[in-house]
Amino acid sequence: MDEVQKKKKVGFMVEPKSLPVKAAMVLMLVSILFRLIGCVGLWGDPVFRNVQILLPIASSILFIVFVFLFGKRALWTTILPVMLGVIFFVLKSFTFTSVLHTGLCILLYCTVAVLYTCTVTGVIGTKVLLFPLFGLPFIYHIAVEDYQALKANELTFAAGMQEMSVLCIMAALFLLACAMKRKGTRTLEEMNLPGMKGPKNVARGTGGYQYDETGSLPQTAAENETGAEHE
């Protein structure tokens, strides 16, 4: 056997310098700005401050940092900011007036946590499921919730800024999913691990065998000497 290749399954990666990834990071940054603008004067309540302001801002900052630093070699690190975002959305859903709406949203957020984790770690070999997971809620927010709120003139400036922050987060995750690329497999050589090499010349003295690197039949030392005399 000339070479043994050991394959290692890996997940997805993104190129931080690519346009979709840059746009995703910018959108996360913009979401922070919208959040800060929409929460001016609302820092007094400690629960609201921690859940509705600090938690989503921390999630967005970690997302930007991890994608920029580890997107190419360890995209799975973004699981942490995504999980923080999921916690934020779950807690936020308890402010909804409809129990059904709250339950459906919690189900959606839990699905996001599971599918995103399984995708970036390579458990699920496709990113296709992330497209409707991030895209459909974005469309629903704009076409249904935001449209109805604007039509009824119920959307305040503060609520509007916070909603823009949420939309930016959804759009950023959708763009990140679009930019994901399968890393595939790596060989022993790529992982800098030793492989098996071919046999080397071994001499065992008179009457011993000598092996060449091509795997030819062994010859004794005496046979080699006889061949040299004929030459």
Considering the domain architecture, whether residues 166 and 83 belong to the same structural domain is answered as yes
Instruction: Give 141's DSSP letter.
Output: I
Considering the domain architecture, whether residues 89 and 140 belong to the same structural domain is answered as yes
Question: Within a domain: residue 107?
Answer: yes
Considering the domain architecture, whether residues 85 and 135 belong to the same structural domain is answered as yes
Query: Of 170, 137, 172, nearest to 23 (Cα)?
Result: 172
pLDDT (tens place) for every residue of the chain, 231 residues total = 344 344 455 589 999 999 999 999 999 999 999 999 999 999 999 999 999 999 999 999 999 999 999 999 999 999 999 999 999 999 999 988 899 999 999 999 999 999 999 999 999 989 999 999 999 999 999 999 899 988 888 889 999 999 999 999 999 999 999 999 998 644 444 445 444 455 555 555 555 555 554 445 455 555 555 555 555
d(CA 117, CA 80): 10
What is the reported pLDDT for 183?
A: 82
Considering the domain architecture, whether residues 123 and 44 belong to the same structural domain is answered as yes
Considering the domain architecture, whether residues 167 and 202 belong to the same structural domain is answered as no
Question: Within a domain: residue 151?
Answer: yes
Yes or no: say if 209 and 219 are a contact pair by the CB < 8 Å rule. Answer: yes
Considering the domain architecture, whether residues 23 and 132 belong to the same structural domain is answered as yes
At 210 the three-state DSSP class reads strand
Considering the domain architecture, whether residues 83 and 159 belong to the same structural domain is answered as yes
Question: Within a domain: residue 188?
Answer: no
Considering the domain architecture, whether residues 168 and 117 belong to the same structural domain is answered as yes
Considering the domain architecture, whether residues 170 and 209 belong to the same structural domain is answered as no
Question: Within a domain: residue 4?
Answer: no
Please state the φ and ψ torsions of residue 102, each to the nearest 5 degrees. -60, -45
Question: Within a domain: residue 33?
Answer: yes
Looking at the 3D structure of the chain, how many domains does it have?
A: 2
Considering the domain architecture, whether residues 210 and 128 belong to the same structural domain is answered as no
Task: Give the domain range for residue 212.
Answer: 198-231
What is the reported pLDDT for 11?
A: 82
Question: Within a domain: residue 174?
Answer: yes
Question: Within a domain: residue 69?
Answer: yes
Considering the domain architecture, whether residues 41 and 103 belong to the same structural domain is answered as yes
Considering the domain architecture, whether residues 57 and 93 belong to the same structural domain is answered as yes
Instruction: Give 146's DSSP letter.
Output: I
Question: Within a domain: residue 93?
Answer: yes
Yes or no: say if 134 and 177 are a contact pair by the CB < 8 Å rule. Answer: yes
Got the DSSP string for 48-78? Answer: HIIIIIIHHHHHHHHHHHHHHHHTTT-GGGG
